[in-house]
Amino acid sequence: MSSLRLEDLKQYSDTLQTRQGERLNVRFVEPRDTEELQHYFRSLSNRSRYSRFFGAISELPKGLLHDFLEVGERDRFTVVATKMVDGFETIVAEARYALHAETSTLEFGLSVDDRWQGHGIATALMKNLECRAAALGAEHMFGDTLRSNETMISLARKSGFAFVNHPDDWKLVRFDKEISVAPKDIPCASWRLAALSRQADSPSASV
């Protein structure tokens, strides 16, 4: 089980690069992001929102918005990838993940702003999530997508996921991957901090 300390969320920021080499900051969402997060979801195309939530919504319903902002609650986390645009920190992608400790799995879903799709952001974000999953002690990570979502299916295939039927919903397909992260290969602040705090908990543990 993880011993991440969430008091100061900023310490868990990571930097990702788009395929063109632009740098994005990836960090846990904070209460100050409420408006910007809703703006991000409202600005997604109908199709992207439908693909992300498997239903027609125009913004995050109140309960879901509340859940998105509760980082660490019931082992669920939300991260945003941001970029400075005209002096404002703008959300260009988001991901939500949940650790299922009983099965050592990490479930996730994500989206990228339509204007930023095709820049390799989801590819980089999924690598980052893999690193976070390893930091939390997960052995597999998985997500669900609509069978019609060719983009996500192609992305998952390229990222090394295998496909299985969804247990309850024939419209969905589940993609699953065994986690094999070498921490030195993927810079990820949350991994390093988790590893350090584990060392502190158990000085003889090698990480």
Ligand X SMILES: CC(C)(COP(=O)(O)OP(=O)(O)OC[C@H]1O[C@@H](n2cnc3c(N)ncnc32)[C@H](O)[C@@H]1OP(=O)(O)O)[C@@H](O)C(=O)NCCC(=O)NCCS
Q: Is 119 in the site for ligand X (CB under 6 A)?
A: yes
- Alpha carbons 69 and 31: distance in angstroms, whole number: 6
Q: Is 78 in the site for ligand X (CB under 6 A)?
A: no
8-state DSSP, 121: H
Q: Is 171 in the site for ligand X (CB under 6 A)?
A: no
Q: Is 118 in the site for ligand X (CB under 6 A)?
A: yes
| Residue 104 Cα distances to 10, 12, 134, 205, angstroms | 26, 22, 10, 20
Q: With contact defined as beta carbons under 8 Å apart, do 105 and 137 qualify?
A: no
| Residue 100 Cα distances to 15, 42, 76, 166, 206, angstroms | 26, 29, 9, 17, 24
- Alpha carbons 14 and 3: distance in angstroms, whole number: 18
Q: Is 122 in the site for ligand X (CB under 6 A)?
A: yes
Q: Which of residues 28-67 bind ligand X (CB under 6 A)?
A: 48, 51-52
Q: Which one of residues 72, 109, 137, 183 is an interface residue with ligand X (CB under 6 A)?
A: 109
Judged by CB under 6 A, the number of residues near ligand X is: 23
Q: Is 128 in the site for ligand X (CB under 6 A)?
A: no
Q: Is 82 in the site for ligand X (CB under 6 A)?
A: no
Footprint of ligand X (CB under 6 A): 48, 51-52, 109-112, 117-123, 143, 145, 149-152, 154-155, 158
